[in-house]
Chains A and B, each alone.
Chain A
Amino acid sequence: KAGVTQTPRYLIKTRGQQVTLSCSPISGHRSVSWYQQTPGQGLQFLFEYFSETQRNKGNFPGRFSGRQFSNSRSEMNVSTLELGDSALYLCASSLGDESFGGETQYFGPGTRLLVL
């Protein structure tokens, strides 16, 4: 079974631009989560989607948004990019059948975003 895939793998943008990252979950998984990883702040939760509904959101500004499609694929968007948005953005999927926190999340390789 194919793992979680994320596209693109690398991205360079300039301040003020916007960016859209894509995530395809493992087949059969209906929950998709997004995390931001930076050297200074570590791994931080952005949001989680299940059946096209956001069930939880982390403490990020409104410039960070996401959505999930009916096939469980997910996108996240960052508008008006800032230098501090440079990070590795990780997507994870899980079955989504159980009340979380116990589900195992499977991570993709990430999208590395550099904002100049």
Chain B
Amino acid sequence: AQSVTQPDIHITVSEGASLELRCNYSYGATPYLFWYVQSPGQGLQLLLKYFSGDTLVQGIKGFEAEFKRSQSSFNLRKPSVHWSDAAEYFCAVGEDYKLSFGAGTTVTVRA
């Protein structure tokens, strides 16, 4: 079965600074990869997804992610963080009609 690992439980970043969230996957073939964001008390919102093709994927809210097969990674990045980006971020892999999620990374944005 496929799985994803998010090594960072919590990240604090200053407003206006860049952000990178790590995600490593375990799968033999090209995986279906997703990044979701969850604000407190809310459901999950899709930021972006990767299936195949261009390894640099653009998403909503200024986020992008790069698929690196050699490193089994799908890291999420944002060049300049806004206070509204404070949330929990989940990396997920799709297989057999389900998503398997990482443990999540909580992002705190300081002024």
Contact = CB atoms under 8 A, between A and B. Distances in A.
Interface of A: 4, 31, 33, 35, 42-43, 45, 48, 50, 55-56, 58, 90, 92, 100-110
Given A101-B32, A104-B34, A109 B43 contact: yes
Given A48-B98, A56-B98, A101 B93 contact: yes
Contacts of B42: 109-110
Interface residues of B, number: 25
Interface string B42-73: 11111001010000000000000000000000
Interface stretch (B15-23, B78-86, B100-108): B100-108
B45 A107 contact: yes
B44 A107 contact: yes
A50 B44 contact: no
